[in-house]
């Protein structure tokens, strides 16, 4: 089992690495997903996700997640071959948490070097801020 801390990590780069590891059969746990970042102008990024949510019928879908952990899981799912049993099986090996749960407090977490925020030279928005803008009722 691989434990990742998503604090100050770029969402897309981290998700791509995790998807590859899931397809290889690894079990992965990700904590602090509300502190992961999406690069780009925060205003434009928020408007993009808001347009995605407004698409379709609110009672019949398509549905788009609003919570930070659900957005993270959906991003990883988009990088897996979901139409194949292999992709769905790999997706079941992913666990995502907002903050650090009590049972994982004393564990050592890894970070993905290629997904570090230090490589960014542009503006960004955290998943926690994005989920609040989308209408999530949870505050961190």
For residue 60, what pLDDT is reported?
80
For residue 48, what pLDDT is reported?
85
Q: Residue 139 domain-assigned?
A: no
Q: Residue 140 domain-assigned?
A: no
Distance between CA atoms of residues 3 and 68, nearest Å: 18
Q: Residue 39 domain-assigned?
A: yes
For residue 61, what pLDDT is reported?
76
CATH of the domain at 89: 3.90.1180.10
Q: Residue 97 domain-assigned?
A: yes
Answer whether 0.85 is exceeded by the pTM.
yes
For residue 66, what pLDDT is reported?
87
Q: Residue 43 domain-assigned?
A: yes
Distance set, CA 82 to CA 43, 66, 89 (Å): 30, 21, 9
Q: Residue 45 domain-assigned?
A: yes
For residue 140, what pLDDT is reported?
62
Distance between CA atoms of residues 29 and 51, nearest Å: 30
**pLDDT < 70 positions in the chain:** 139-140
Q: Residue 121 domain-assigned?
A: yes
84 burial type by CB count under 10 A (0-12 exposed, 13-18 middle, 19+ buried): exposed
Question: By residue range, what is the domain housing residue 31?
Answer: 2-134
User: Could you give the number of structural domains in the chain?
Assistant: 1
């Amino acid at each position: 089992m691989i434990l990742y801390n998503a604090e100050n990590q770029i969402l897309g780069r981290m998700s791509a690495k995790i998807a590859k590891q899931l397809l290889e059969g690894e079990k992965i746990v990700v904590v602090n997903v509300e502190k992961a970042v999406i690069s780009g102008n925060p205003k434009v990024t928020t408007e993009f996700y808001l347009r995605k949510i407004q698409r379709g019928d609110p009672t019949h879908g398509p549905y788009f997640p609003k919570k930070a952990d659900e957005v993270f899981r959906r991003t990883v799912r988009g990088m897996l071959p979901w139409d194949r049993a292999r992709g769905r099986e790999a997706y079941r090996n992913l666990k995502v948490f907002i903050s650090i749960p009590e049972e994982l407090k004393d564990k050592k977490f890894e970070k993905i070097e290629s997904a570090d925020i230090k490589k960014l030279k542009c503006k960004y928005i955290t998943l926690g801020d994005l989920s609040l803008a989308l209408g999530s009722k949870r505050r961190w």
